[in-house]
Copies of this chain bind each other. A is one copy, B any other.
Amino acid sequence: MKILKVGGGSSINWDFVGEDVARFLKNEQLIIVHGAGAIRDEIATQLNTPSRTIISPSGYSSTYTDKKAIEIFLMVYPGLMNKQIVAKLQSYGVNAVGLSGIDGRLWQAKRKKEILSQEGSKIKVIKDSFTGKVEKINTDLLKLLLGAQYLPVLCPPAISEEYEIVNTDNDTATAVLAKEMKCKEIIILFEAPGLLKNYKDESTMIKHIPKEKIDDYLPYAQGRMKKKVLGAKKAFENGVTKIYWGDGRIAQPITRLLKGEGTIIS
């Protein structure tokens, strides 16, 4: 079994992904985790509450998630995006079932009581952000569905111990999911051919990263890509042996990535 994580960019081609998932499932089981960042930002703007980004003092970006942002999150991730993905997969003959981290307490998180935001030279403490770290997975529910030949299609938010709905970092959640499902390989699709030395030049793609040297590649990671590097580190700590980073915009994205078209960390 592998985990397929697909980013939330607007140019991911879900027809290509859906067709290739159907092909993949002939030989092996899969769990999908997806994002929805681009459409979330779009809907948030339409609702006059544009998404706000927080930069942590160590330079990682995340979304400021107050009560209103959680509502928009619920609308877009388990609503608009998840259900459109499930319908698309169904159209390729894949019996997909969409679940958020709330359903069956699939992703149980610890809410962060405070998060730090670097604002110019000042560090601000934010207390009304509903964000958390996934710590526990309801593997029974996933095994129940996989055992009956359903494909679980998962997305945030997660649920806290106090039953709050919390946004969570998908890359870390995927690493915890891999650990608890004893999954050795993660396929990650986003809007680039792989990790690029120069992020403006696709010809500078890095073909292979030795997993013990992943820190050396952090300087090449721009913006949210930094979190993917961090998530990969966490995944390797959790027993994963191979991570594939590839392009979610091209035909047969999974097949081609598994054959080496992308960045492989191992």
Partner of A79, one of B78, B86, B88: B78
| Interface size bracket, A side | 35 or more
Decide if A91 touches B46 in the complex (CB within 8 Å).
no
As for how many copies of this chain the complex holds, the number is 2
Check A83/B90 contact, CB under 8 A, given A98-B103, A150-B141.
Answer: no
In the docked arrangement, what's the CA distance between A87 and B80, Å? Answer: 19
The dominant DSSP class at the A interface is: helix
Partner of A102, one of B98, B145, B148, B157: B98
Nearest B residue (CB) for A43? B75
List chain B residues, Cβ under 8 A from A103: 83, 86, 96-99
In the docked arrangement, what's the CA distance between A100 and B128, Å? Answer: 30
Check A95/B90 contact, CB under 8 A, given A80-B75, A82-B78.
Answer: no
A89 → chain B, closest Cβ, in Å? 9
In the docked arrangement, what's the CA distance between A144 and B77, Å? Answer: 25
Is the C-beta of A84 less than 8 angstroms from some C-beta in chain B? yes
Is the C-beta of A24 less than 8 angstroms from some C-beta in chain B? no
In the docked arrangement, what's the CA distance between A174 and B46, Å? Answer: 34
Which among A83, A86, A102 has the greatest number of chain B C-beta atoms within 10 A? A83
Nearest B residue (CB) for A163? B91
Is the C-beta of A140 less than 8 angstroms from some C-beta in chain B? yes
Nearest B residue (CB) for A105? B90
Decide if B165 touches A87 in the complex (CB within 8 Å).
yes
In the docked arrangement, what's the CA distance between A141 and B84, Å? Answer: 20
A-B contact pairs, 10 of them (CB 8 A): A43-B75, A78-B82, A87-B102, A96-B103, A98-B103, A99-B99, A99-B103, A104-B150, A141-B150, A144-B148
